[in-house]
């Protein structure tokens, strides 16, 4: 487990919880961005991306599953629990869709970054081996 990324996930989770359970009139919306679906997508994109890099498993599929399952559950549960924990908030199925879209994009982005990082690392190892053999 990578502690730095776990700390960042905790911070992002607290930020999303604060926005998700604040009364609607207390949420700071910018006049040019009244559409909260962008906030939902970007928040879950960042959360998913950071969560992916917590895990240090040998196979990328393990990291994908260890990320997709809990973040996916959170994407649904946060919207279902929102009206229960904050009476001024209402259930919105479009928010769930935005959460899932952000999660999918974050997961895709994280796997691409991980692949590029792994490729760079293996190329560097090959260079060191070539130097050792010379």
- As given in the structure block, the two tokens for residue 96 are 């769930």
Q: In 3-state terms, the chain is what percent helix, strand and coil (to 5)?
A: 80, 0, 20
pLDDT digit string (tens) for 51-65? 999 988 888 899 999
Give yes or no for a contact between 48 and 110, defined as CB atoms under 8 angstroms apart: yes
DSSP 123: H
- Structurally, the chain folds into a number of domains equal to 1
What pLDDT was estimated at residue 126? 67
Instruction: Say which residues have a Cβ less than 8 Å from residue 103's Cβ, sequence separation at least 6.
Output: 44, 45, 47, 48, 68, 71, 72, 75
Query: What's the whole-number average pLDDT of the chain?
Result: 85
Give the residue numbers spanning the domain of 102: 3-133
pLDDT one-digit tens code per residue, 4-33: 999 999 999 999 888 877 776 666 665 555
Q: What is the pLDDT of residue 104?
A: 96
Flag whether pLDDT at 131 surpasses 60: yes
pTM score > 0.85 for this model? no
């Amino acid at each position: 487990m990578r502690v730095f990324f776990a700390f960042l996930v905790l911070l992002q989770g607290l930020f999303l919880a604060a926005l998700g359970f604040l009364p609607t009139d207390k949420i700071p919306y910018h006049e040019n961005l009244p559409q909260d679906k962008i906030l939902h997508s970007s928040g879950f994109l960042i959360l998913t991306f950071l969560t992916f890099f917590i895990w240090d498993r040998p196979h990328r599929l393990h990291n994908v599953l260890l990320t997709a399952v809990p973040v996916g559950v959170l994407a649904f549960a946060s919207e279902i629990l929102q009206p229960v924990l904050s009476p001024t908030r209402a259930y919105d199925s479009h928010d769930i869709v935005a959460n899932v879209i952000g999660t999918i994009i974050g997961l895709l982005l994280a796997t691409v970054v991980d692949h590029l990082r792994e490729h760079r690392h293996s190329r560097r190892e090959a260079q060191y081996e070539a130097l050792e053999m010379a």
